Amino acid sequence: MRDTDSTLLGHFDTAVAGFDGRLRAVPATEWGSPTPCTEWNVRQLVNHMIQGSRIYVALLRGGSSAEFMANLNQEALDGDPLTTYREAAAECRAAFLADGAFDRVVDYPFGPVPGRQLLGLYVVDAVVHTWDLARAVGLDERLDPRTVGWVLDNFEWIYHGVTESPITDSYQYYGPPTAVASPAETAQNRLLHAMGRNP
């Protein structure tokens, strides 16, 4: 992976904006609707994204993997969902920008990773869950093609040394890859299939 730190932050910003755009459009009647993440409804998915940002901040500031897992499913929707999401994402971005954060090895639960790789993991999570949210409530499912391409090009680097991932035999959080229908599948669909989705 040879991208500059500013390029990585650009993908972070694009991924955050993609989820933000769908979240703004969620109808009030859809918060209990099921999502492609079978254990979550829309509200729980949004809660996961907010709490995910917060616990990444904690990791970047020296938090432990035990704290990460203990807080993973804690209630985070303590106000307006959109405002709360934006504030959590902004705090996460600031934590990645802190001096030395990209090179600091953090205690990620599925293997220690440098902050730069942690950002890659965040981007994948945000991109895939953007599609989940869009599919759940009937919004635009098109993901940013440059970010999708970047994820596919750097898949091995993003998940290097991560024990719970789409490139291992452990699929607790995404599900096993689904079959690609044909070699002509779009990059977006290839990514979604790799992450256990059925686009």
3-state SS of 103-121 is CCEECCCCCCEEHHHHHHH
Residue 179 belongs to some domain of the structure: no
Q: What is the pLDDT of residues 126-162, one digit of tens each?
A: 999 999 999 999 999 999 999 999 999 999 999 999 9
- Run of H or E residues at 58: helix 42-60
CB-hemisphere CA count at 13 Å for 85? Answer: 22
pLDDT of residue 173: 66
The C-alpha atoms of residue 36 and residue 128 are separated, in whole angstroms, by 10
Residue 178 belongs to some domain of the structure: no
pLDDT of residue 182: 72
List the domain range (segments joined by +) for residue 123. Answer: 5-142
- Run of H or E residues at 15: helix 5-24
3-class DSSP state of 70: helix
Q: Residues 80-100: what's their mean pLDDT?
A: 96
Residue 190 belongs to some domain of the structure: no
Measured CA angle at 72 (ends 71, 74), to 5 deg? 60
Residue 17 belongs to some domain of the structure: yes
Band of pLDDT at residue 16, cut at 50, 70 and 90:
very high
Residue 104 belongs to some domain of the structure: yes
Residue 16 belongs to some domain of the structure: yes
Q: How many CB atoms lie within 10 A of CB 90?
A: 12
Q: What is the pLDDT of residues 93-116, one digit of tens each?
A: 999 999 999 999 999 999 999 999
The C-alpha atoms of residue 143 and residue 154 are separated, in whole angstroms, by 17
Residue 132 belongs to some domain of the structure: yes
Q: What is the pTM (predicted TM-score) of this model?
A: 0.94
pLDDT of residue 55: 95
CATH number at 125 reads: 1.20.120.450
Residue 94 belongs to some domain of the structure: yes
Q: How many CB atoms lie within 10 A of CB 96?
A: 20
The C-alpha atoms of residue 185 and residue 167 are separated, in whole angstroms, by 20
What is the domain count for the chain?
A: 1
- Would you give the DSSP letter of residue 32? T
